[in-house]
Amino acid sequence: MAARHFLTLNDMSTNELENLVDHGSRLRNEWRQGKVRDSLKNRVLAMIFEKSSTRTRVSFEAGMTQLGGSAMFLSPRDTQLGRGEPIEDSAIVISSMVDAVMIRTFAHETVEKFSQASRAPVINALTDDFHPCQLLADMQTYREHRGSIRGATVAWIGDGNNMCHSYINAATQFDFHLNIATPEGYEPDPKLMKAHSDRITLMREPEEAARNANLLVTDVWASMGQEDEQKAREKAFAKYQINKALMDLAAKDALLMHCLPAHRGEEISAEMIDHPGSVIWDEAENRLHAQKALLEFLILNRLD
Ligand code: CP
Ligand code: NVA
């Protein structure tokens, strides 16, 4: 049987995604109760990082260990990938030795090429275009705090980046409406917006997007690889900060998420991290549990 990959949320059905999210919560509860689980005993995850990471690396590595397996960190600096060995050759070789491969890289095409040549499941751990693992954690966190997100209004405030793109996919898959407030010139991919036009509304004013929303979400203004645009972006995004005034426009029990790392004083005001509606720390921890569910699903082809 061909391996299942997870390059975007569209690689799963809605039913599979909802089961994954529920399984993530079960794994979180079991883990908190101190239950030992060895579902991935002797299994190995290769982790290829071409960009920095704290949460993704720690959660995948800890997750594999907690399930009885192990994870191996591979950086282009120390592998032949960094010296120009073709992606397809690397994929054939690496996937012949491990049970799953996780990749964080720049071009989305890289994970697509890798997955086409890979015998083992490939997980997109962030590309310039998508960050689907973060969405598993976000959806799990919303459900744990507020129940189903179906029919809710989510406000994306800031850059039309990889996280925003994954929120657009999530709007269709999890059945919520997404208000997107971005400055001119920083909108999400037009093709993606068109494909999900019944689920999203593009707005200019953050206040309009946030009004009565059930969840406010933001992310850094300059993503990895855009460091030299930082100054120009600070200017363009100046009024797109999530602060108390913006949060006050949202629904009374609205939640606030940020995938982290956060730039306090830029996309989010410092006090908002600890706002009563903020679930940012649970969101970060849930990367661990959501991805353990994902690994079990992709490697074992089951969720129980
Ligand atoms: N949210 C997220 O992916 O964080 P890292 O870049 O630290 O992995
Ligand atoms: N949009 C950010 C997300 C970091 C987790 C980036 O790509 O750098």
How much is the average pLDDT of 59-77? Answer: 97
Q: Does residue 46 carry a pLDDT above 90?
A: yes
CA–centroid distance, residue 264 to ligand 2 (Å): 15
Closest ligand 2 atom to 162 CA:
1
Question: What is the arithmetic mean of pLDDT over 19-33?
Answer: 98
Separation of CA 1 and ligand 1 centre (Å): 32
Cα 60 to Cα 66: distance, rounded to the nearest angstrom: 10
Res. 1: pLDDT tops 80: no
**Does the pLDDT of residue 41 top 80, yes or no?**
yes
Residue 287 is a catalytic residue: yes
CA of 127 to the centre of ligand 2 (A): 9
Please, which residues have CB within 8 angstroms of residue 192's CB and are 6 or more apart in sequence? 165, 168, 169
280 alpha carbon to ligand 2 midpoint, in Å? 15
Whether pLDDT at 89 is above 90: yes
Which ligand 1 atom is nearest residue 126's CA?
3
Output the pLDDT for position 303: 81
Confidence class of residue 2 from pLDDT cuts 50, 70 and 90?
confident
**pLDDT greater than 90 at residue 262:** yes
Quote the pLDDT of residue 62.
98
Mean pLDDT (the chain) is: 97
Judged against a pLDDT cut of 80, whether residue 13 lies above it is answered with yes
Average pLDDT estimate for 8-37: 98
Note whether 9-130+284-300 and 134-277 share their fold.
yes
Instruction: Please give the pLDDT value at position 238.
Output: 98
* Ligand 1 proximity of 134 Cβ (cutoff 6 Å): yes
Q: For residue 174, which phi and psi values (nearest 5 degrees)?
A: -100, 0
Domain extents in the chain: 9-130+284-300, 134-277
Locate the ligand 1 atom nearest the alpha carbon of residue 131 and give its number: 3
Tell me the per-residue pLDDT of 142-195, one tens digit each, with 9 for 90 and over.
999 999 999 999 999 999 999 999 999 999 999 999 999 999 999 999 999 999
Q: Is 55 in the pocket of ligand 1 (CB under 6 A)?
A: yes
Q: Binning pLDDT at 50, 70 and 90, where does residue 65 land?
A: very high
131 is a catalytic site residue: yes
The matching CATH number, chosen from 3.10.129.10, 3.60.110.10, 3.40.50.1370, 3.30.465.10, for 134-277 is: 3.40.50.1370
Give CATH superfamily name and number for 9-130+284-300: Aspartate/ornithine carbamoyltransferase (3.40.50.1370)
**200-203 and 177-181 beta bridge pairing:** parallel
Token output for 33:
């109760």
Check residue 211 and give its pLDDT: 98
Which ligand minimizes its atom distance to the CA of 47?
A: 1
The amino acid that residue 153 corresponds to is T
Alpha-carbon separation of residue 204 from 100, 167, 190, 198, 247 (angstroms):
41, 18, 15, 18, 17
pLDDT score, position 233: 98
C-alpha–C-alpha distance, residues 237 and 230, integer Å: 10
Across the range 84-109, mean pLDDT stands at 98
